[in-house]
Structure 1
């Protein structure tokens, strides 16, 4: 079905992918702000992306199970390292997260240095290819999201302490970064949570989900209408919606 430049056959899978990402990233975003480690998602996402790049560098089939295992393994190693640093040098955890992000990003660039498609591959991992999400990818993301959402709702991650928190990030990010990219993963985590800081409880959660869902829907529509890259367009729309909501007077 099409309406002018809006091809709903392409847009609806992309929107579903975005909504699935929001299911886990919105509640995790609130925890990130509470802990004061805002860049954790960027670091874990970049480590997962490094796993994908490394798998590609040794010739593993693109989007295959081996690549997914490499991404999950890299992200979990990053989660384990951050768990260790939190226990021993918690005072400098935010700085160490930043260093880890830069190291993972630079390692990825070095691995792609002699790849003729390196620049394009790096761009795809950062900005994402949300418009090309397929049914199989949605099923995998949906299954991972259902398990993580249940674990978060039942408090299973809290029982594992710091590693439960970082491990949940590792799995959530790995499932989403190859579909929507590092930028959208970070924005989906931080922006809705940041926009709703003045609210609490279920109202805050509902508003955060609303901002996220509207941002994805409007961003995808605008990117199709104006022939713009979808990921960056959604990021900008989410930021604008969050700014509007944060400036809106709060009713008593």
Structure 2
């Protein structure tokens, strides 16, 4: 059964989810619009590769905030490479991004193959440990996400140009540190997919609601049944997105039937 004493653990995890969704819902819709679905997986994996390189090099690991700027450097370099390719190989871009992801994943596995804690680190980077996020870990993402959201409010055109790739790299780097690669991908794509065919008002608001419901349900399920938090939230996000799409489909069918009866 759900224990109310777990609230002290669930609350920072829920706030972490809100922070991730705050930027990912907006960027996810742009990813769908551009047709580069796997860019989030690729950049997240490259950021994870940067974290691994920093971890294995003790000189780098000893430097202040190396767990942030090292993955950021890799993610920004990866995003810059994809941005460069987008103008030169647009027709093959999605396939190249997929290859980019696989190569980064393989490189991570090879680097950690002889590390005694390699499997544990790889699992943490992929699945995340959102239940164990502390309030202190949320300060930097909250500040940067707020700055990015303000920039997008005042200059929405940033999403259209190459600046998108830089913003994307920064956001993904911070999110991987908080929730892991799988949740980064799910938070970007599933809410965006849920509302992709929605043409009514408050499309962005509905996408945020889908994400919030998925995170709340996943966290409660994880805490109640002692399930891996990242996997549980990915599953509930998927279910929430499917239910919303089904609701839209049923509403469209009902409207069509109603029009037929009127005619």
TM-score (norm 1): 0.94
Question: 4+ runs of 1 displaced by more than 4 Å?
Answer: none
Counterpart residue number, 1:225: 224
In structure 2, C-alpha distance between the alignment counterparts of 1:87 and 1:207, rounded to whole Å: 33
- 1:84-140 CA deviation, whole Å, 9 max, x = no partner? 101111111101100110111111111101110000000000000101111221111
Partner residue in 2 for 1:101: 101
Matched, 1:13 2:23: no
Per-residue displacement from partner, 1:140-166 (whole Å, max 9, x unpaired)?
Answer: 11011101111222226628822x111
Residue in structure 1 matched with residue 208 of structure 2 by the alignment: 209
Greater Cα offset, 59-68 or 16-25: 59-68
Q: Does 1:52 align with 2:51?
A: yes
- Aligned residue in 1 for 2:72: 72
Deviation at 1:61, TM superposition (A): 3.6
Q: Deviations over 1:224-248 (max 9, x none)?
A: 1000000000000010111111011
Structure-1 residue corresponding to 2:116: 116
Listed as ranges, the gaps of 5+ residues in structure 1 are none
Q: What is the alpha-carbon distance in structure 2 between the residues aligned to residue 151 and residue 200 of structure 1?
A: 26
Larger radius of gyration: 2
2:205 is paired with a residue of what secondary structure? helix
Q: Does 1:151 align with 2:176?
A: no
Change (3 A) 1:28 1:180: same
Change (3 A) 1:218 1:74: same
Structure 2 unaligned runs (5+)?
256-263
Distance in 2 (alpha carbons) for counterparts of 1:123 and 1:77 = 24
- Give the RMSD, CA atoms, in angstroms: 1.9
Distance 2:179 2:173 in 1: 11
- Work out the CA distance in 2 between the residues paired with 1:237 and 1:71: 28
Could you report, residue by residue, the CA deviation over 1:179-221 in whole angstroms, capped at 9, with x for unpaired residues? 1000000000000000111224751101100010111111000
- Paired residues of 2:30 and 2:159 also in contact (CA < 8 A): no
Number of residue pairs the alignment of both structures matches? 250
